[in-house]
Amino acid sequence: MEKTKPRILAGFMELDPEDQISMNLMVDIIKGNFERFGFSPLDTVGIELSEILLAKAGGETEKQIYRFNKGDTDLALRFDLTVPLARYIAMRQSFLTFPFKRYQIGKVYRGERPKKGRFREFYQADIDIVCSPNLDIMYDSEICSVIYNIFKQLGVNDFTILISNRKILSGFLEALNEKDKIVEIFRIVDKVKKIGEEGVREELQGLEINGTNIEQIISFIKLNGPKERVFAEIEALNITELEFTKGVCELKSVVNGVELLGVPGDNYKIDFSIARGLDYYTGTIYETMLDDYPEFGSVCSGGRYDDLASHYTDKKFPGVGVSIGVTRLFDAFKKNNLINESGQKTTAKIVIIPIDNKTDLGAGFEFVTLLRANDINSEVFLADVKLKAKLDYANKISVPYIGIIGEDETKNKTVSLKNMKTGEQTTLPIVDAVNYIKHEITSGIKKPFVEMIKK
Amino acid sequence: MEKTKPRILAGFMELDPEDQISMNLMVDIIKGNFERFGFSPLDTVGIELSEILLAKAGGETEKQIYRFNKGDTDLALRFDLTVPLARYIAMRQSFLTFPFKRYQIGKVYRGERPKKGRFREFYQADIDIVCSPNLDIMYDSEICSVIYNIFKQLGVNDFTILISNRKILSGFLEALNEKDKIVEIFRIVDKVKKIGEEGVREELQGLEINGTNIEQIISFIKLNGPKERVFAEIEALNITELEFTKGVCELKSVVNGVELLGVPGDNYKIDFSIARGLDYYTGTIYETMLDDYPEFGSVCSGGRYDDLASHYTDKKFPGVGVSIGVTRLFDAFKKNNLINESGQKTTAKIVIIPIDNKTDLGAGFEFVTLLRANDINSEVFLADVKLKAKLDYANKISVPYIGIIGEDETKNKTVSLKNMKTGEQTTLPIVDAVNYIKHEITSGIKKPFVEMIKK
């Protein structure tokens, strides 16, 4: 028979068992924190009407979207989790309780040209808090606290959540009489980490902004640091534009809440250079940088928007949220060898090896049933092959323990446990063996998911 | 602005928060059992080359598949998790350890005409054990044990795993000299639960099979029940065809293993009426029926196949596996009101309500931080609205506890806890309150996921 070459598309991630186990661990940490903060799960459909997904989008999104017809219907795969959330809320507004706090972790699709660190199919992990007609500014602080807790629990200690407020930058530009160029200026400022101060200056010159204003913009976006200093410098600007003072007031509230929620000063700072490319943010904006790995870019970004679902409903739904590009972040951790890998290719903690399948299988099954009843992931090696092949299997999948059951063990209802890391071996009654393994699993010091190498 | 009507496609499931929480609970039970049996997670790509997905398929699959072009590439969405597994194993055979035990829970797509209980986008939960060049028959028993443990833990007590072996039916048909019509006969027999004995008789007549053989086939497929009786009746047939005796021998081993693994006689039986429509099964086959809900159809089916990846590689990979149609099963449980719903629209166990946002928010944050540090899902209601509106929110999301923090509580570092079910209220120091909630959560008797109503 002719064979089809087995392969997948470029820009799609598919993992080996050991990496998939790591990936799931990372997702579980993210999900656990979302739930710990009281966010509810949502799982929107993967295929939507193109009309829905493209109600707002344009430009890049429209080019990247996977769009196709099934019968007469014009369909598309979701390219983010925000548009589906907006549609979901507009659709179900009368059944939902507000503020509606939801998380969603799911695959999204963007048919961009694949390049390093970019994927066409990738997981996003989003949280949003949406209310109507108003959403209290304190929820913006809570988002920050979620980010802090996630990265802390992942084991990334040195990270900084950058916080700004779009109103401040736009109020500042109003004061400079550059209001009509706001969108373009935001877009240029947003690139400062890539193109540097000089690059920003050049691009601003391209907009025909006068030199004084350019220098003022540049010194403004260089403002960053602890709140006392930043707020003092901001006040020294003596700007009275309503947009500006409103933004400052919001930012003060957010920072105040962030502190009350216990986010240490080392892990956040105000930074006016962040602007977020997307034009729907209207207040607080966040980016998250890993201190020693600026090349990762922002690993968790988002912000406040005034009107989430305007394309589907007249009712106003302001919200605030952030998104983690899970696939991309995992890939970056992995490529930089930062993941504390167990090396295990199995979810099992122990593989039971019957020496003689004819006589020892029953005892093996009895032991495994007891292990499983005690919530210990475990398996019996069932193939009737030579002992060496059985041991090879356990070695190859890097299972932490094996339990050998031969004639004596079967007779005495015992098992010979071997710790595969230390090589220690001990024979125990099966009940004691279960307790031993249980104790070992729960008492061991857990390494963090990643161990960042200081640079 | 003109609005796009927010809607989703027919045949796509999207849940309200309380149902999504239930759905996740069901998926967690399935996943937990997969891992408890030592299966490793796999997450294959959602979009594949059509050439890959259709290497084997034809007929119905080709009509139902979501297929489209992106640039010059002919793509399709996966319609099951078996074909991607075959492709994955063929691709990565040199990196994998065999027997390879993997689970995958993911969405698949079939563009069929939507009807009751049928979805176009749905979750499948699959396990397979694959080896090369041989896979021990005992793994077929293990699959049965996984099914048993899942349905037991879901709370479905009265279910029966039907076990058969394709070789027995084909050996039997060989003995009747009907070997050339095997595929058609399988397909007819497979419909017996739908069309009944008379229907099968009529369709077999349509194949021009003689009356004696038809009656023999019908009385054969009516054979079912506990192993002793079935094996006795089978032996009484005195069939010597190798295929037949091989099948009987396999079935005996499987049933023997199933017993050793502790699956009670009430929850499985041999049943020769199951044949599975798919033609790739070559040995053991399984279906799972809910005793009081035969209208659900088989809720977990699968079997043994000799050669999984033949379209992608010359190497032979026999395997055995089963699949649960998660979305469909959840929908059936839900429509029959069988799910023990908590009614909670939130993952939070407690909502903290500061009476005065100006003065009590700090104490609220302190308490919530302590709760979260103790792994208790919790939130502070942050909007600065009237107390009644705050309490309304807690009521609407059906959170089990609220913690009210006013002037006294803030001063004394206490919280007034209220059990929202019983109405009981008590004021405790915040540390004691955390321990109290922790105890309540862990000590309560957990209701099973479903409570089946006997019919």
pLDDT tens digits, one per residue of A408-436? 999 999 999 999 999 999 999 999 999 99
Which residues 153-192 of A are in CB contact (within 8 Å) with B? none
> CB of B281 within 8 A of CB of B318?
no
Count CB atoms within 10 A of the CB of residue B235.
10
pLDDT of B276 strictly over 80: no
B373 phi, psi to nearest 5 deg:
-65, -25
Q: How far is CA A259 from CA A129, A142, A226, in A?
A: 20, 10, 12
Cβ of A94 under 8 Å from any chain B Cβ?
no
Whole-number pLDDT of residue A25: 97
Whole-number pLDDT of residue B425: 96
Q: Which of B9, B35, B260 sits opposite A361 (nearest CB)?
A: B260
Distance CA A94, CA A306 (A): 20
pLDDT of B11 strictly over 70: yes
Which residues 354-373 of B are in CB contact (within 8 Å) with A? 357, 361-362, 365-366, 369, 372
Whole-number pLDDT of residue A333: 97
What token pair was written down for A20? 């998939």
Cβ of A55 under 8 Å from any chain B Cβ?
yes
Whole-number pLDDT of residue B61: 77
Question: Using a CB-CB distance cutoff of 8 angstroms, which residues of chain B are in contact with residue A389?
Answer: none
Whole-number pLDDT of residue A193: 84
B61-78 residues labelled b (16+ CB within 10 A) or e (exposed): beebbbbbebeeeebbbb
> CB of A34 within 8 A of CB of A146?
yes
Whole-number pLDDT of residue A202: 94
- The residue in chain A having the minimum alpha-carbon distance to the alpha carbon of residue B132 is A383
Q: How far is CA A86 from CA A349, B5, B6, B167, in A?
A: 43, 12, 9, 54
- The residue in chain B having the minimum alpha-carbon distance to the alpha carbon of residue A314 is B3
Asked if B95's CB is within 8 angstroms of A16's CB, the reply is yes
Question: Using a CB-CB distance cutoff of 8 angstroms, which residues of chain A are in contact with residue B35?
Answer: 347, 377
Looking at CA atoms only, how far is residue B398 from chain A in angstroms? Answer: 10
Asked if A95's CB is within 8 angstroms of B365's CB, the reply is no
Whole-number pLDDT of residue A343: 86
Q: Which percentage of chain A shows pLDDT scores above 90?
A: 85
Asked if A90's CB is within 8 angstroms of B52's CB, the reply is no
**pLDDT tens-place string over residues B312-324:** 999 999 999 999 9
Which residues 28-47 of B are in CB contact (within 8 Å) with A? 35-47
Looking at CA atoms only, how far is residue B123 from chain A in angstroms? Answer: 11
Beta-strand relationship, A40-41 and A100-109:
parallel
Asked if A68's CB is within 8 angstroms of B68's CB, the reply is yes
Dihedral sign, Cα of residue A124, residue A128, residue A132, residue A134? negative
**Exposed (0-12), middle (13-18) or buried (19+): which is B281, by Cβ within 10 Å?**
buried
Q: What is the mean pLDDT of chain B?
A: 94
Cβ of B310 under 8 Å from any chain A Cβ?
yes
Confidence of residue B190 (pLDDT cuts 50, 70, 90): confident
Q: Among A185-194, A301-310, B67-76, B101-110, whose mean pLDDT is lowest? A: A185-194
Q: Which of B21, B38, B40 sits opposite A41 (nearest CB)?
A: B21
Question: Using a CB-CB distance cutoff of 8 angstroms, which residues of chain A are in contact with residue B52?
Answer: 4, 6-7
Asked if B121's CB is within 8 angstroms of A348's CB, the reply is no
Region B252-277: mean pLDDT is 91
Question: Using a CB-CB distance cutoff of 8 angstroms, which residues of chain A are in contact with residue B47?
Answer: 9, 12, 66, 77, 109, 121
A67, A365, A375: best to mutate for the B interface, most B CBs within 10 A:
A365
Which residues 255-284 of A are in CB contact (within 8 Å) with B? 257, 260-262
Asked if A379's CB is within 8 angstroms of B37's CB, the reply is yes
Cβ of B420 under 8 Å from any chain A Cβ?
no
- The residue in chain A having the minimum alpha-carbon distance to the alpha carbon of residue B46 is A121
pLDDT of B224 strictly over 90: no
Cβ of B4 under 8 Å from any chain A Cβ?
yes
B97, B104, B258, B374: best to mutate for the A interface, most A CBs within 10 A:
B97
Q: Which of A46, A48, A365 sits opposite B107 (nearest CB)?
A: A46
Looking at CA atoms only, how far is residue B56 from chain A in angstroms? Answer: 10
Q: Which of A21, A136, A361 sits opposite B41 (nearest CB)?
A: A21
Cβ of B48 under 8 Å from any chain A Cβ?
yes
Asked if A142's CB is within 8 angstroms of B14's CB, the reply is no
Confidence of residue B59 (pLDDT cuts 50, 70, 90): low
A250-280 residues labelled b (16+ CB within 10 A) or e (exposed): bbbbbbbbbbbbbbeeebbbbbbbbbbeeee
Report pTM.
0.96
Whole-number pLDDT of residue A55: 85
Region A106-123: mean pLDDT is 89
Q: Which of A4, A346, A383 sits opposite B52 (nearest CB)?
A: A4
Chain centroid offset of residue B139 CA: 19
pLDDT of B234 strictly over 90: yes
Q: What is the DSSP letter of B77?
A: E
Asked if A17's CB is within 8 angstroms of B109's CB, the reply is no
Asked if A362's CB is within 8 angstroms of B45's CB, the reply is no
- The residue in chain A having the minimum alpha-carbon distance to the alpha carbon of residue B389 is A98
Looking at CA atoms only, how far is residue B281 from chain A in angstroms? Answer: 19
Looking at CA atoms only, how far is residue A48 from chain B in angstroms? Answer: 6
Q: Shortest CA distance to A312 belongs to which of A42, A47, A50, A56?
A: A56
Cβ of B346 under 8 Å from any chain A Cβ?
yes
**pLDDT tens-place string over residues A7-59:** 999 999 999 999 999 999 999 999 999 999 999 999 999 999 999 999 876 66
Whole-number pLDDT of residue B442: 86
**pLDDT tens-place string over residues A50-80:** 999 998 766 677 788 999 999 899 999 999 9
Distance CA A320, CA A302 (A): 8
Region B91-108: mean pLDDT is 97
Beta-strand relationship, B159-165 and B100-109:
unpaired
Whole-number pLDDT of residue B255: 96
pLDDT of B368 strictly over 70: yes
Strand partners, A271: A224
Question: Using a CB-CB distance cutoff of 8 angstroms, which residues of chain A are in contact with residue B75?
Answer: 9, 66
pLDDT of B277 strictly over 70: no
In the chain, the amino acid numbered A218 is I
Looking at CA atoms only, how far is residue A67 from chain B in angstroms? Answer: 8
The yes/no answer to whether this complex scores an ipTM above 0.90 is yes
Question: Using a CB-CB distance cutoff of 8 angstroms, which residues of chain A are in contact with residue B91?
Answer: 6-8
**pLDDT tens-place string over residues B49-58:** 999 999 876 6
Distance CA A338, CA B48 (A): 30
In the chain, the amino acid numbered A168 is I
Cβ of B374 under 8 Å from any chain A Cβ?
no
Q: How many CB pairs under 8 A join A and B?
A: 267
**pLDDT tens-place string over residues B150-161:** 999 999 999 999
Question: Using a CB-CB distance cutoff of 8 angstroms, which residues of chain B are in contact with residue A63?
Answer: none
**pLDDT tens-place string over residues A218-246:** 999 998 888 899 999 999 999 999 999 99
Q: Which of A5, A47, A365 sits opposite B260 (nearest CB)?
A: A365
Which residues 388-417 of B are in CB contact (within 8 Å) with A? 393, 396-397
Looking at CA atoms only, how far is residue A171 from chain B in angstroms? Answer: 26
pLDDT of A278 strictly over 80: no
Distance CA A164, CA A286 (A): 7
Distance CA B409, CA B367 (A): 11
